[in-house]
Chain A
Amino acid sequence: MLNKFCLSLLSLLFTLLAAGCWDRVEIEDRGFVVGVAIDKAKDEENVAESKGRPKGKRRYLVTYQIAIPGGLGAGAAEGGDGTKAFFNLTSEGYAMMEINRILSSRSSRPPYMEHLKLIIISDEIVKETRAFQDILDFYIRDPEMRRGTYLAVTKGKAKDVLEVENPSEKLPVLYLISVMDNNEETGRMHEPVLIGDIHEHLLSGTGFVVPRLIPQKYEVKSAGVAAFRGHDNRLAGWLDEEETEGLNFLTGKIKGGITIAKLGDNLLLYDIKNIRQKIKVDTTDKQKLKVTFDIKLEGMLHETLETEDVLMRSTLDKIQKLIDEEIERICNNTIEKLQKHYKIDVLGIAEYLAADHPHLWENIKKDWNEGKHLFSKATIEVKSNALIRNAGIVNQTEKQFD
Chain B
Amino acid sequence: MKSFEYGDPEIGHKELAYSILSMILGIGILALPRMLAGGTKGSDGWISILLGGLISLAFVLVSMRLASRFPRKSYYLMAHSIVGKKAAMIIIFLLAVYNLSFCAYETRAVSVIARTYLFDKTPLEVIVLTFLLVLVYGVSGSSADLLRLNMMFMPVVFTIAVLVVVMNYGFFELKNLKPFFTTNVKGYLTGTKYTVFSYLGYSLVILFYNPLVRQHKPKQALKLYTWSMILILILYQAFFLASLAVFTRDGTAQIIHPPIELAKQIEVPGHFFERFESLFFTIWVMTVFNTAAMSLDMGILALRSLFKKTKRLQLVFILSPIIFTASMAPPRQITYFKAEQILAYTGIFLCMVIPLALLMIAKARGIKGDAQ
A residues near B (Cβ < 8 Å) are 21-23, 72, 114-115, 143, 146-148, 196, 199-200, 203-204, 351, 354-356, 358-359
Contacts and interface: CB of A to CB of B under 8 A. Distances in A.
A146 B117 CA distance: 12
A147 B179 contact: no
A355 B174 CA distance: 11
Contacts of A358: 41-42, 179, 182
B126 A200 contact: no
Contacts of B253: 203
A248 to B, nearest CB: 16
A148 B248 CA distance: 15
B175 A199 contact: no
Interface residues of B, number: 30
B167 to A, nearest CB: 13
B272 A355 contact: no
B123 A115 contact: no
7 contacts: A22-B126, A23-B121, A146-B264, A147-B261, A200-B250, A203-B251, A358-B179
B333 interface: no
Contacts of B248: 200, 203-204
Contacts of A359: 182
B251 A355 contact: no
Interface string B177-188: 011001000000
Contact of A143 (B117, B267, B273): B117
A143 B116 contact: yes
B179 to A, nearest CB: 4
Interface string B254-270: 10000001001101000
Interface in B211-252: 246-248, 250-251
A147 B264 contact: yes
B169 interface: no
A147 B175 contact: no
Give the residue among A22, A114, A115 with the most B Cβ atoms within 10 A: A22
B254 A356 contact: no
B274 to A, nearest CB: 11
B337 interface: no
Contact of A199 (B119, B122, B178, B251): B251
A256 B120 CA distance: 44
A91 B200 CA distance: 51
A21 B120 CA distance: 11
Contact of A148 (B41, B126, B265, B272): B265
B179 A200 contact: no
Nearest to B250: A203
A355 B178 CA distance: 5
A115 B42 CA distance: 33
Given A196-B251, A204-B248, A358-B42, A115 B272 contact: yes
Contacts of A354: 179
Given A200-B251, A356-B179, A23 B122 contact: yes
Contacts of A146: 264-265
A146 B260 CA distance: 11
A196 B247 contact: yes
Given A199-B251, A359-B182, 7 more contacts: A21-B122, A23-B119, A203-B254, A355-B179, A356-B178, A358-B42, A358-B182
Given A22-B126, A356-B178, A200 B247 contact: yes
Contacts of A143: 116-117
Contact of A22 (B119, B175, B178, B182): B119
